[in-house]
């Protein structure tokens, strides 16, 4: 699909150039485009983290967990089946053990059997392990029936989550979620792994105050040792990188680069052919995160959590190899589903361009991969997209995954649809940019119509045109390895703090296909030859000049060299 996508108009970002002593003009321009106005905005020290006290309910949650630790109660963590959920579980289990908890276990729902969150059925499974406290991570704020089931059996539930709540909150012992009403925590974009990190930091503080730690028998753990997990989960969940999240990611990546990360992450970097010493946030998002996610998409996220909890490289490597193989399988399934999607687009009544919201279903689609297909459809057609697969079983239900544009809050759109037609959606939940839902297969045409109408009301037509926002053109003398290295160190870049992108015209010297579907280019600007790579791009015929949108990259194969990573290529003549 990507190589046939229409060209997007290039729009240059604007913004004042801030006064940042010691930062070169090249980088100051880029920071100004992202709202950086003063040196304090670039301060990513841990000392500047938002205080835990701003999280509503954190004292009650930490107090209950500290009580369970001191009394040796059985603690069961319930996670989600994505990378944020996996890192949250791994952090919770390992940090609780380091705090001195004597009985900690976890369960993650298999998406094909239990679905998302703390369902009553999952509570019944959890009760077989006789927990005295259940702690949810990256889920739970919508699990009203599940919490009620646990309460009925005398088990307290502490909910730690970051998803948007519904009109009712579950009757949990405590709820910590920056997005619940009345919570003053300023970083609403924090990932689930960040929430449990904060909760357990407060738990450590309470245990310290009670005299729980002893240097010889029970040393107090350093929380910074868990920042590699926080960084991975935060980037993989594609949450906006506000300053607080950038602090967490920056500090976690620093630990990874210095070799102070857990063996599971090191093994995943190894199978992903990433050098830990030069690791970037994009490596977490495009190499390590997808391999971890593959377990939850195709199999059981327990494999991913076991990898993250591995005590040595010898233990981690076989698990990372399993995850790598699952990721290869996932890629094959995704490509097949994308081919199906192309046929559905071609057969769409009225054409896809006449729709504001895209809804697609194919009976052969894999429910663990529909989110990726929705993301591809959104990228290709620049419209909110939902892809559905059969949920399995005899209920005739479909499970869908939605991906949206920045201009449309997808969960709010679904809530509006559900308010008008309460029988349409069986359940739904999510974020501004992504959501999941379940509906009766017979309701699919009605839902598709309702979704398109809701998006049409909320989304300005200009948003459907798509565009590439760049940081402008670079002079030939700015196309340097030094500037590429500055950008690599100038992040972390990611959602809402985008990686710098530039545009400009180049002479096309040569091109060749590598890896079956990628294009290796040699470009010329003035008297300089520059290498470039364009992924999933067909060769360009009868052309010796091109207009590119590109990122500056460091190619570290053999020696360090500048390379342009092409986001869009347009033949000029």
Residues 244-271 pLDDT 10s? 999 999 999 999 999 999 999 999 999 9
0.85 exceeded by pTM: yes
pLDDT for position 463: 85
Q: How far apart are CA 520 and CA 170, in angstroms?
A: 54
Mean pLDDT of 329-346: 92
pLDDT for position 559: 81
In degrees and rounded to multiples of 5, residue 389 shows phi and psi of: -135, 160
pLDDT for position 352: 77
Termini Cα distance of the chain: 24
Most confident by average pLDDT, 317-321, 368-372, 467-471:
317-321
Residues 416-467 pLDDT 10s? 999 999 999 998 988 888 899 999 999 999 999 999 999 999 998 888 888 8
CA-closest candidate to residue 371, choices 338, 418, 415, 332: 338
Q: Are 470 and 548 in contact (CB under 8 A)?
A: no
Mean pLDDT of 309-323: 98
Both tokens assigned to 512: 């060749």
Query: What CATH number belongs to 348-465?
Result: 3.10.310.30
Most confident by average pLDDT, 53-62, 403-412, 418-427:
53-62
**Which range, of 47-61, 141-155, 489-503, 530-544, averages the lowest pLDDT?**
530-544
pLDDT for position 431: 80
pLDDT band at residue 330 using 50, 70 and 90 as cut-offs: very high
Mean pLDDT, all residues of the chain: 93
Q: How far apart are CA 77 and CA 199, in angstroms?
A: 13
Domain residue limits, the chain: 2-39+468-571, 51-325, 348-465
Residues 61-117 pLDDT 10s? 999 999 999 999 999 999 998 999 999 999 999 999 999 999 999 999 877 777 778
Q: How far apart are CA 145 and CA 346, in angstroms?
A: 42
Residue 522 predicted with pLDDT over 70: yes
Residue 1 predicted with pLDDT over 70: no
Percent of the chain with pLDDT over 90: 82
Mean pLDDT of 506-517: 91
Which H or E element spans position 553?
A: strand 545-555
Give all strands of the β-sheet with 104-107 in edge-to-edge order: 104-107, 75-78, 133-137, 156-160, 174-176
Q: For domain 51-325, give its CATH number from 2.30.40.10, 3.90.600.10, 3.50.50.60, 3.90.1640.30.
A: 3.90.1640.30
Residues 284-300 pLDDT 10s? 999 999 999 999 889 88
Beta strands in 448-491 (DSSP E): 468-470
Mean pLDDT of 12-33: 93
pLDDT band at residue 3 using 50, 70 and 90 as cut-offs: very low
Mean pLDDT of 22-47: 94
Residue 510 predicted with pLDDT over 60: yes
Mean pLDDT of 156-179: 96
pLDDT band at residue 541 using 50, 70 and 90 as cut-offs: confident
Both tokens assigned to 300: 């059981």
Q: How far apart are CA 231 and CA 248, in angstroms?
A: 6
pLDDT for position 5: 61
Three-class DSSP category at 426: strand
CA-closest candidate to residue 15, choices 34, 43, 41: 34
Q: Are 428 and 411 in contact (CB under 8 A)?
A: yes
CATH 3.20.19.10 assigned to 2-39+468-571: no
Mean pLDDT of 145-149: 97
pLDDT for position 300: 86
**Which range, of 126-130, 431-435, 506-510, averages the lowest pLDDT?**
431-435
135 forms bridges with which residues in the sheet? 77, 158
Mean pLDDT of 321-329: 96
Residue 555 predicted with pLDDT over 90: no
Residue 2 predicted with pLDDT over 80: no
């Amino acid at each position: 699909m990507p190589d046939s996508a229409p060209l997007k108009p290039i729009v240059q970002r604007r913004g004042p150039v801030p006064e940042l002593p010691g930062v070169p003009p090249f980088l100051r321009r880029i920071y100004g485009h992202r709202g950086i106005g003063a040196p304090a905005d670039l301060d990513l020290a841990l000392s500047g983290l938002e205080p835990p006290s701003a999280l509503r309910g954190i004292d009650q949650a930490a107090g209950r967990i500290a009580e369970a630790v001191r009394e040796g109660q059985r603690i069961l963590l319930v996670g989600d089946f994505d990378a944020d959920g996996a890192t949250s579980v791994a952090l919770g289990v390992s940090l609780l053990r380091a705090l001195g908890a004597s009985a900690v276990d976890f369960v993650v729902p298999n998406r094909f059997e239990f679905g998302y969150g703390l369902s009553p059925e999952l509570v019944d499974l959890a009760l077989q392990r006789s927990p005295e406290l259940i702690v949810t991570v990256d889920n739970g704020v919508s699990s009203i029936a599940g919490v009620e089931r646990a309460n009925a059996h005398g088990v307290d539930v502490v909910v730690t989550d970051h998803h948007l709540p519904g009109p009712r909150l579950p009757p949990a012992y405590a709820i910590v979620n920056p997005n619940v009403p009345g919570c003053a925590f300023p970083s609403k974009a924090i990932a689930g792994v960040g929430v449990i990190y904060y909760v357990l930091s407060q738990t450590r503080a309470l245990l310290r105050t009670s005299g729980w730690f002893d240097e010889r028998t029970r040393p107090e753990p350093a929380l910074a040792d868990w920042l590699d997990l926080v960084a991975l989960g935060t980037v993989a969940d594609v949450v906006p990188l506000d300053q607080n999240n950038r602090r967490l990611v920056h500090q976690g990546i620093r630990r990874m680069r210095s070799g102070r990360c857990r063996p599971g992450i090191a093994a995943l970097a190894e199978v992903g052919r990433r050098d830990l010493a030069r690791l970037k946030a994009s490596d977490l998002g495009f190499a390590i995160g997808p391999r971890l996610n593959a377990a939850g998409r195709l199999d059981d996220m327990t494999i991913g959590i076991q990898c993250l909890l591995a005590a040595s490289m010898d233990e981690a490597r076989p698990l990372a190899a399993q995850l790598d193989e699952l990721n290869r399988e996932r890629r094959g399934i995704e490509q097949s589903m994308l081919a199906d999607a192309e046929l559905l687009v071609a057969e769409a009544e009225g054409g896809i361009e006449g729709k504001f919201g895209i809804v697609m279903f194919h009976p052969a689609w894999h429910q663990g991969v529909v989110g990726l297909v929705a993301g591809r459809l959104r990228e290709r057609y620049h419209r909110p997209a939902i892809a559905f697969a059969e949920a399995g079983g005899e209920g005739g239900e479909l499970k869908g995954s939605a991906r949206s544009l920045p201009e449309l809050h997808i969960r709010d759109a679904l809530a509006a649809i559900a308010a008008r037609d309460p029988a349409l959606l069986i359940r739904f939940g999510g974020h501004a940019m992504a959501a999941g839902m379940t509906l009766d297969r017979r309701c699919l045409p009605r839902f598709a119509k309702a979704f398109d109408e809701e998006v049409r009301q909320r989304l300005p037509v200009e948003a459907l045109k798509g565009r590439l926002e760049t940081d402008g053109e670079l002079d030939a003398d700015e196309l340097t390895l030094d500037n590429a290295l500055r950008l690599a160190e100038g992040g972390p870049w990611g959602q809402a703090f985008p990686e710098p992108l530039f545009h400009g015209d180049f002479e096309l010297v040569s091109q060749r296909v590598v890896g079956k579907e990628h294009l290796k280019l040699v470009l010329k600007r003035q008297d300089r030859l520059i290498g470039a790579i364009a992924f999933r791009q067909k060769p360009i015929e009868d052309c010796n000049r091109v207009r590119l949108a590109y990122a500056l990259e460091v190619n570290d194969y053999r020696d360090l060299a500048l390379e342009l990573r092409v986001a869009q290529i347009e033949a000029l003549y």
